[in-house]
Amino acid sequence: MTIALRYAAYSDVGCLREGNEDSGYAGQHLLAVADGMGGYAGGEVASSIAISSIRSLDTSDDPRAEEMAEVLQQAVEKANESLALRIRQEPQLENMGTTLTAMLWSGSQVALIHIGDSRAYLMRGSRFEQITHDHTLVQTLVDEGKITEEEVATHPQRSLILRALDGKTPVDPDISISRAKAGDRYMLCSDGLSGVVSKKTIHETLATESDPRAAAKKLIELAIRGGGPDNITAVVADVIETDGDHDGPTVGSQTVGAADQGEVTTGPNESSPARRAQELRGNGGDTAEMDPIDEQAPAPPGTYGASPFEERAYDAPDGRGQDSEPEYRTRSWWPIVLVFVIVVGAIAGGGYYFGRQYIESQYYVGVSSDGSAVSIYRGIDTNIAGFDLSEEVESTELQLDSLAPTDQEALRNNIDANDLADAQTKVEELQSETEESG
């Protein structure tokens, strides 16, 4: 049996972004999505470099199965080196970076490499699952049992990514090898799709749209109907048996988004409902009148664009029996604790991509470490693998037990402040209330 791919790739700027920082690629042996970030055109540069660096793998000479993981790893390292070179040439791009999710094919063998929070899904028969794991702070908190998946969409730190290609830090992707079957359907996407359209709706769309082109376009339209707060990229590929398939595999490659120099936006046509919705929103249309995608879909957050990284909620894979295939084993090249040490070290040392600027701009008023007084903290009240992401910057003489019970409870839950001066003002207000009640 000879298998091949029938695929389609589309990308759209969305409703709120000025440019498309996503890039996508689909070829006979390679599928990939990269979600760039960083501002000052940095995102589109980063994602374009990532796709350009790995699409050379899409050749007629299939790598041997035992070499696929190594070949992908080397290609991603090359992409990271290319980012580093570009930053040296253009220092104004130092904050750029990109996610990357790519699949390399050799016959029925498929190697998946993933870094960041773009996603890959597999639909096999009635089963549908996410086969990548988001490299985000909130996903780490979910994994550690500190928050539930339902709390991800509203978590204040949902925008922080822990791993990305940025040209400054070592490449640390997840890599897995599996075997594809005829009838499988794979979908790769940026968070502009997965962050707006629910997993249930993605599954239903992939199950009902038989043609990869129709499926990819429909998913992009759904994301735009849901607000289109970010760039949207989708790559859909069907695994077919060439001997028995009437239409045959796709011939030629497709490059979309920022990596496509000829046409940055290659999504739905100009007369599609998605495009009309985009034009309506761009002309001040009332987005509140748009129909919701799915009652389970998370509402588009109101802070898209406030940070170079956007929120991604992770849908855990469905349970599988011991004899089911493929068996995805996501492996990290470093022990998880060491990864967190690197993350925290990057924050302390000035790594923008690990949220340093965001974290250092956060302040709150809370209870002192000994539980007796009021203190001002900088950072976020979160602990990862034993590392605190906040520090006490100013202690006060205001005793906790001198405050009203409601104020004590508010302090235990932390009182957010815009900056240090605002935090100091909130302490003064608490002090005044205490003196007045006394």
- DSSP-derived secondary structure for 334-356: S-HHHHHHHHHHHHHHT-GGGTH
pLDDT in tens, 56-89: 999 877 777 778 999 999 999 999 999 999 999 9
Q: CA–CA separation, 188 vs 194, rounded Å?
A: 10
Shortest CA distance to 216 belongs to which of 315, 121, 108, 100? 121
Q: Which two tokens stand for residue 287?
A: 């987005």
Angle (CA) 237-51-353 rounded to 5° is 115
Shortest CA distance to 36 belongs to which of 152, 164, 129? 164
In this structure, are residues 35 and 118 in contact, taking their beta carbons and an 8 Å threshold?
yes
- For the chain, the average pLDDT equals 80
Residue 171's pLDDT is: 92
Residue 385's pLDDT is: 54
- Residues near 412 by beta carbon (within 8 Å), at least 6 away in sequence: 366, 367
- Residues near 239 by beta carbon (within 8 Å), at least 6 away in sequence: 3, 4, 5, 180, 181, 182, 183, 184, 185, 186
Backbone angles phi, psi at 146, to 5 degrees: -85, -25
Classified as helix, coil or strand, 56 is helix
Backbone angles phi, psi at 32, to 5 degrees: -160, 145
Shortest CA distance to 235 belongs to which of 376, 27, 69? 27
pLDDT in tens, 332-355: 444 444 445 444 444 444 344 445
Backbone angles phi, psi at 296, to 5 degrees: -95, -10
The Cα-based distances of 105 to 33, 72, 157, 259 in angstroms read 15, 11, 36, 21
Residue 246's pLDDT is: 85
Secondary element (H or E) of residue 201: helix 199-208
The whole-number average pLDDT for the span 399-415 is 87
Indicate the pTM of the whole model: 0.66
pLDDT in tens, 119-160: 999 999 999 999 999 999 989 898 988 888 888 877 888 778
pLDDT in tens, 34-45: 999 986 578 999
Residue 99's pLDDT is: 97
